Amino acid sequence: MTNKKSFFNYLTPEQIQKKVDFINFYIGATNNASASLVDPNSNVSEKNMGTLKEEMYKFENIQVSRKIIKDKITEMFGDDLADQYEEDIESHLLYCHDETLAAFLPYCASVTMYPFLLNGTKCLGGTSKAPKNLQSFCGSFVNLVYQLATNWAGATATVEFLMYFDYFARKQYGDNYLSVARDRIAQELQGVVYALNQPAAARGK
């Protein structure tokens, strides 16, 4: 039986100090892009504890991810190509999207929202039931996106959102909802936009 403690990776005092120094550097940085050591092109400008937590170990995660991919290339094609892969990344001949997670997660995804309309987020381990009105649709939609986004490294596309938003708006306010409930419609849309633009602690994005 494997001793789980054998996987503990104790940092040296120097490595610990580097992490402490990085935390102080990150706190003093203008934004997440200027503070990031390996991912200054990330789609995040604001910084908080969630983004700090993710940034702290990106450099180590890149090394682990690269090792996993290199081992797979070796298994399939041999050592020469595996070494060439690493050399091409180091020389920037190859660009690996979000290499911190390349070996663990897909990059981007587009999803259908139809199962969400029927069952809510329970099929993903969430607690939201199927939406019944515009307010529950918008609130549950935000939860859905955050649940989905934890499963890949890049963007989440939900191209049906406006179509289903229109359905619930018509159901609740009638076909002329932009005339009879313009302020409430705007408020619901703004709520979704603002919620989705908050940095997510679970993703650091």
**For the ranges 7-11, 35-39, 140-144, 173-177, which has the lowest average pLDDT?**
35-39
Give the chain's mean pLDDT. Answer: 88
Answer yes or no: is pLDDT of 73 > 90. Answer: yes
| 137, 168 Cβ separation under 8 angstroms | yes
Q: What is the mean pLDDT of residues 199-204?
A: 55
Choose among 104, 111, 69: nearest CA to 86: 69
What contacts 61, CB < 8 A, 6 or more positions away? 100, 101
Q: Identify the pLDDT of residue 186.
A: 96
Confidence of residue 104 (pLDDT cuts 50, 70, 90): confident
86, 162: one domain: no
The residues with which 156 forms a beta bridge, in sequence order, are 109
Q: What is the mean pLDDT of residues 37-58?
A: 79
| Digit-coded pLDDT (tens) for 81-103 | 999 999 999 898 888 767 887 78
133, 185: one domain: yes
Q: Identify the pLDDT of residue 25.
A: 95
* Domain assignment present for 204: no
68, 31: one domain: yes
The per-residue b/e assignment along 20-30, b for 16 or more CB within 10 angstroms, e otherwise, is: eebeeebeeee
134, 171: one domain: yes
**Domain span holding position 84:** 11-90
Tell me how far CA of residue 203 lies from CA of 49, 54, 100, 160, 164, in angstroms.
11, 7, 12, 23, 26
* Domain assignment present for 61: yes
DSSP label at residue 78? -
Provide the 3-class DSSP secondary structure of residue 157.
strand
